[in-house]
Amino acid sequence: MENLAKQKVIQDLKPQQFGKRGMIWVGILLFICAVGLFAYIRQLSKGLVVTSMRDYVSWGIYISNFVFFVAISLVGSLITAVLRLSDVHWSTPLTRIAEIIAVAAITFASIIIVVDMGRPERFYNLFLHGRLQSPIIWDVIVITTYFFISMLLLYFPLLPDLNILMKLKEKTSKGLDKLYSFLGSFWKNTPGQIKINERAISILSITIIPVAFSIHTVTSWLFATTYRPGWDSTNFGAYFISGAFLVGAGGVVVAMYVFRKAYKLENYIKEDHFDKMGKVLVMLALLYLYFNINEFLVPAFKMKKPEEEHLVGLFTGEFAPIFWFAIFTAMIIPIFILLFKKGRKPLPAFIAGCLVVIGSWFKRYLIVTPTLLHPFLPMQDVPDSYRHYFPSWEEWAIAMGSLAGVLLIITIFARIFPIIPIQETITEIEEHENV
């Protein structure tokens, strides 16, 4: 490969300063985060009474947000591990996008679960008095493991790129340069180092798959290990995993489109990528639809008394609008858009991706709340406010703040590091030319 072409790739992909739009975007995100932080401080001083959660609906949008974050983080393992191991090369430019989504989402999953705690200052009790029998401890263990593996999967492929960035003639800024050399000055691009790095990445790619399955299966078990109608299901693990891959892939499509536009990456994230990711999305949406049919049709066929109230509430009752909205926006409409070749062009694929992500967020809400409103014994001897649930402004602010936090991490990461792997792109072009 000519040096000139190589320089062009580096120039195209090196991190760029925020433009005016970038600054506004970061400003908005920071503002939403600040509002969320303010709401959390209120919650800390007054207690969880500022939320709309009460004794019956004891878990609300914090927990559904947690499930959403864990779900979306699974895409890191899908794109970087599953596709890498099956020797799929077209996904290379997408690996870092997927991995930073995973890291950002899993970080905020941990934060939001602390936000939901009545006594966050006693978090250390999990280590001091942890009981291995409790699914929460399983979740703590696998999420921590997943976080570190994801961090390493983000870091190791970054090493050759850091080397490239440090060699750049025009320095970006002193601070960034220090950061690059702190993170990667030991990397000399020697064949030995490259070999070790490749081995490390492939070992991590293998290990992350069972861990990724574990995080979301265990998260589903937080619900499925209880007796409650709507949660008491053996289908839950697979149902959660399939939904997680779907929302994660949807998130990647959205991020692809935004980065492509913002950083003018048309030569790297090509229409072909949208076409292929579109097909992946269709497959995942069909898979999730299949598990949804299992989850709802089988109990609905029998209509056992405790299930009946819950299911009728979803199908035709109080939650029917959200239920059908989620089913259509997360699965059916995206399937119809992406089945057609024209639908897999960047813009329609982006719209389909947005629909998947939004629909999936509401789907998580439906997994948590309606079940809690249909206990075995009827709701009794409680104030009227205990019988309904609509999140308070503090809950919305904190939930939106956490979503903005994820976007902020991704945005800042893309400002500091190349969002498309430079070295891997160069290597692939070279390999392509040699063929």
Partner 1 sequence: MNTHDTSRREFLAASLLAGAALAGCNTKNPFEKDAAEMVNPSGEMVKLLSVDGEVIEIDKAFLKPVPHLPAVSNDAARLGIGNKKFVMVIDLSRCKSLKKCQSACNHMHHVHPGQNWIKVYPMQDAEHTAPYWQPTTCMHCDEPPCVKVCPVDATFKRQDGIVLIDSDRCIGCRFCMAACPYSTRVFNWEEPEMEPEIAAQPYSCESSVPQKKGTVGKCDFCPDMARKGELPHCVSACPNGVFLFGDMLEDSVTNGAETFRFSDLIKDKAGYRLMEDLGTKPSVYYLPPVNRNFPFENAETKEEAKKS
- The one among 190, 376, 434, 435 contacting partner 1 by CB under 8 A: 376
Tokens of 8: 């062009």
Does position 47 bind partner 1 by CB under 8 A? yes
- The one among 190, 383, 434, 435 contacting partner 1 by CB under 8 A: 383
The site that binds partner 1 (CB under 8 A) totals a number of residues, namely 47
Does position 303 bind partner 1 by CB under 8 A? no
What is the rounded CA–CA span in Å between residue 199 and residue 203? Answer: 6
Does position 133 bind partner 1 by CB under 8 A? yes
Does position 222 bind partner 1 by CB under 8 A? yes
- The one among 28, 30, 34, 58 contacting partner 1 by CB under 8 A: 58
Does position 141 bind partner 1 by CB under 8 A? no
CA dihedral sign of residues 286, 288, 293, 294: positive
- The one among 164, 372, 398, 403 contacting partner 1 by CB under 8 A: 372
Does position 191 bind partner 1 by CB under 8 A? no
CB nearer to partner 1: pick between 58 and 144: 58
Does position 434 bind partner 1 by CB under 8 A? no
The span of 64-72, 84-92, 204-212, 226-234 binding partner 1 (CB under 8 A) equals: 226-234
Tokens of 119: 């006594």
Does position 134 bind partner 1 by CB under 8 A? yes
CB nearer to partner 1: pick between 9 and 140: 140
User: What are the CA-CA distances from residue 370 to residues 54, 194, 322, 381 (Å)?
Assistant: 14, 52, 11, 20
For 216-242, give one letter per residue: b (16+ CB within 10 A) or e: bbbbbbbbbeeebbbbbbebbbbbbbb
- The one among 6, 228, 261, 345 contacting partner 1 by CB under 8 A: 228
Classify residue 379 by its DSSP letter. Answer: P
Does position 404 bind partner 1 by CB under 8 A? no
Tokens of 89: 């090369």
Does position 380 bind partner 1 by CB under 8 A? yes
- CB 256, CB 273: distance < 8 Å: yes
What is the rounded CA–CA span in Å between residue 291 and residue 246? Answer: 12
Task: Find the shortest distance in angstroms from Cβ 377 to partner 1.
Answer: 5
Does position 55 bind partner 1 by CB under 8 A? yes
Alpha helices in 188-235 (DSSP H): 191-224
Q: How many CA atoms lie within 13 A of 85 on its CB side?
A: 13
What is the rounded CA–CA span in Å between residue 416 and residue 287? Answer: 36
Does position 144 bind partner 1 by CB under 8 A? no
Does position 422 bind partner 1 by CB under 8 A? no
CB neighbours (10 Å) of residue 280?
A: 19
Q: Interface residues for partner 1 in 68-127 (CB under 8 A)? A: 116-120, 122-123, 125-126
Residue reference for tokens 């259509």: 328
Sites of contact with partner 1 (CB under 8 A): 46-49, 51, 53-56, 58-59, 116-120, 122-123, 125-126, 128-131, 133-137, 140, 222-223, 225-228, 372, 375-383, 386
